């Protein structure tokens, strides 16, 4: 029976820790942008609850006939923490009490199937809430549905909806990649392409570093004559006068000078 290397044991334990940690962070987020909400509205989906501006979103959804969101109506929030915990512990136990590469393959397939089913359930939830509308709603647009995108961007009337995994989702993806890497290592597939351990480590670290870099909160480059001022809506043409702010929600606002920046910050609600 093939034995696990020390690095594989560490990766399986780390995978389990990543998956377990996802219980404490939002797994998914849907951002809603509109002119009347300069900071946007966020719907954060945890393993056991909803977060963000849920009440404000419920109030807006009422006008277009969508059902209000209440965590207690979703059975997923009851069972999901246990499922995530199960996979996290399974990965750790597999690393500590290795029973052959087949045990890693079973873990990998089971976790991948769980991810696929979870995404389908999320899509089904979005479809139901976006299509089953109250026919007596205050705002009715014939043929219009309000299903947010599963991932990516979609325009819904005057709102732009952006859907993407959040911290917990990236942690679970990292855990899955770690498990997959261990299996590829055990099966010898990596050896066909990579001959030394240093290169294998580089192949493993590169996608993780790319994931980490996606969370960068550094300044953004302002494109002169293309970007517009968030306050006066004029094109930004002089870089030495331009200014930029980054909000707590990770949103960037560009300005053609510091006066516009100060005036704009007065319009952004303090709680955001």
Say if residue 156 is in the same domain as residue 249: no
- Averaged pLDDT for residues 14-26: 95
Reading phi first (left if > 0) and then psi (alpha if -120 to 50, else beta), residue 100 is in left
Domain check: are 206 and 261 in the same one? no
Domain end (from 193, 213, 233) = 213
> Does 1 fall in a domain?
no
Q: Tell me: do 203 and 226 sit in the same domain.
A: no
Per the structure, the complete domain to which residue 266 belongs is given by 219-272
- Indicate whether 73 and 150 sit together in one domain: yes
Is residue 38 included in any domain, yes or no? yes
Mean pLDDT, residues 244-267 taken together: 76
Q: 239 and 147, same structural domain? A: no
Instruction: Name which of 45, 183, 63 is nearest 121 in CA terms.
Output: 45
Whole-Å CA distances, 147 to 8, 74, 201: 42, 18, 41
pLDDT tens-digit map of 65-95: 888 888 888 899 999 999 999 999 999 999 8
143: left (phi over 0), alpha (psi -120 to 50) or beta: left
Helix (H, G, I), strand (E, B) or coil at 206: helix
Q: Are residues 243 and 180 in the same domain?
A: no
Residues 15 and 174: their CA atoms lie apart, in Å, by 7
* Residues 146 and 235 placed together within one structural domain of the fold: no
pLDDT digits (tens, 9 = 90+) for 131-149: 888 888 888 888 788 888 8
CB distance 104 to 94 below 8 Å: yes
Would residue 270 count as lying in a domain? yes
Q: Do residues 235 and 269 share a domain?
A: yes
Whether residue 173 is predicted with pLDDT greater than 80 in this model: the reply is: yes
Do 237 and 200 share a structural domain? no
Residues 177-183 have a mean pLDDT of 91
* CA distances to 17, 83, 157 from 79, in Å: 19, 6, 34
Q: Tell me, yes or no, if the pTM score tops 0.75.
A: no
Q: Assess whether 190 and 80 both reside in one domain.
A: yes
**pLDDT in the model for residue 271:** 42
pLDDT: is 175 or 236 the higher one? Answer: 175
**Model confidence at 97: pLDDT above 80:** yes
CATH number, domain at 246? Answer: 2.30.170.20
Question: Is residue 202 located within the same domain as residue 237?
Answer: no
Would you state the pLDDT for residue 156?
82
d(CA 96, CA 87): 14
Residue in 104, 95, 103, 109 with CA at minimum distance from that of residue 8: 95
Residue 192 pLDDT > 50: yes
Mean residue pLDDT across the chain: 82
Residues 202-220, mean pLDDT to the nearest whole number = 55
């Amino acid at each position: 029976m093939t034995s696990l290397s020390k690095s594989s044991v560490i990766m399986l334990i780390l995978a389990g820790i990543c998956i377990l940690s996802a219980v404490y962070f939002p797994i998914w987020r849907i951002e809603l942008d509109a002119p009347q909400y300069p900071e946007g509205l966020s719907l954060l989906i945890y393993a056991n609850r909803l977060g963000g501006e849920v009440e404000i979103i419920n109030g807006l959804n009422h006008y277009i006939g969508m059902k209000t969101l209440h965590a207690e109506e979703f059975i997923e929030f009851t069972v999901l923490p246990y499922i995530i915990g199960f996979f996290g512990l399974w990965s750790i136990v597999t690393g500590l009490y290795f029973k052959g590469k087949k045990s890693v393959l079973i873990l990998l397939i089971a976790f991948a199937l769980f991810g696929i089913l979870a995404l389908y359930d999320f899509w089904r939830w979005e479809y139901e809430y976006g299509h089953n509308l109250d026919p007596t709603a205050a705002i009715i647009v014939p043929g219009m549905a309000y299903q947010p995108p599963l991932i990516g961007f979609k325009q819904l009337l005057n709102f732009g909806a952006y859907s993407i995994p959040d911290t917990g989702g990236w942690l679970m993806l990292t855990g899955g990649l770690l498990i997959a890497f261990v299996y590829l290592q055990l099966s010898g597939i990596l050896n066909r392409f990579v001959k030394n351990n240093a290169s294998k480590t580089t192949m493993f670290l590169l996608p993780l570093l790319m994931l980490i870099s996606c969370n960068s909160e550094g300044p953004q480059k302002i494109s002169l004559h293309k970007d517009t001022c968030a306050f006066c809506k004029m094109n930004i043409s002089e870089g030495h006068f331009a200014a930029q702010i980054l909000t707590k929600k990770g949103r960037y606002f560009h300005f053609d000078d510091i006066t516009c920046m100060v005036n704009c910050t007065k319009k952004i609600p303090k709680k955001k």
